[in-house]
Chains A and B, each alone.
Chain A
Amino acid sequence: QKEVEQDPGPLSVPEGAIVSLNCTYSNSAFQYFMWYRQYSRKGPELLMYTYSSGNKEDGRFTAQVDKSSKYISLFIRDSQPSDSATYLCAMGNTDKLIFGTGTRLQVFP
């Protein structure tokens, strides 16, 4: 079993839709949770960073962490074609950071 599981997609949605991206993990010691966006032929770009459980909102993006279920989510409201990219979750503790394989999102006009 991988430490971090992420559905590769692709996830295809119309412009304006609410997008939900998710990751599950197995290591209960993980305390730090991040979401990165990676456009084609570019490096990952940090979107959201959260510590422990709870919600964090930044503009159209909301990150949720449920440590009891070992489940994290990224919600994108009013999705735009420019949101089309691969979204990588990453999580860990001070000893290591583990990335998911990424979910490819396509937002069509």
Chain B
Amino acid sequence: DAMVIQNPRYQVTQFGKPVTLSCSQTLNHNVMYWYQQKSSQAPKLLFHYYDKDFNNEADTPDNFQSRRPNTSFCFLDIRSPGLGDAAMYLCATSGPLWGQGHNQPQHFGDGTRLSIL
């Protein structure tokens, strides 16, 4: 089945130690998103790619970076994780039919739960 796969499902890192989360998709979607979701809160969009075009949200901290080496893969890099960065990180994709608008249905992976020691 076509899907969005996130690895690892659980990640523990130390305060200030860089960490990378990965996302892959077999849907051949051209838009990929990264969200941060804290307990009982709405998913918060960090950034998204339309093909190779990177779009950063205005309030996303500089500590968060992303890479998309090809259509299938996207990475979230947290350069110096702080305690406030402990959260579920969700990757999502959307298809090419309607351009890069945010109105398209998004397909989510099962997330990576990040803990900071």
Query: Could you list which residues of chain A lie within 8 angstroms of chain B, going by C-beta atoms?
Result: 4, 8, 31-32, 34, 36, 41-46, 49, 88, 92-102
Minimal beta-carbon separation of B105 from chain A (angstroms): 5
Q: A-contacting residues of B (Cβ < 8 Å)? A: 4, 6, 40-43, 45, 90, 92, 99, 101-103, 105-111, 113
Shortest beta-carbon distance, B40 to chain A, in Å? Answer: 6
Q: Which residues of A contact B107 (CB under 8 A)?
A: 46
Judging by beta carbons under 8 Å apart, are B102 and A46 in contact?
no
Partner of B43, one of A42, A44, A46: A44
In the complex, the number of residue pairs spanning A and B with C-beta atoms less than 8 Å apart equals 54
**A36 neighbours in B (Cβ, 8 Å):** 108
Question: In the complex, A42 Cα to B43 Cα: how many Å?
Answer: 13
Beta-carbon nearest neighbor of A88 in chain B:
B42
Inter-subunit contact B113/A102 (CB<8 Å): no
Contacts of A95 in B (CB 8 A): 101-102
Contacting residue for B105 out of A49, A96, A98, CB 8 A:
A49
A101→B101 contact, CB < 8 A:
no
Q: Contact check: which of A31, A42, A46, A100 meets B106 at CB < 8 Å?
A: A46
Given A41-B113, A44-B90, A88-B42: A94 and B108 interface contact (C-beta under 8 Å): no
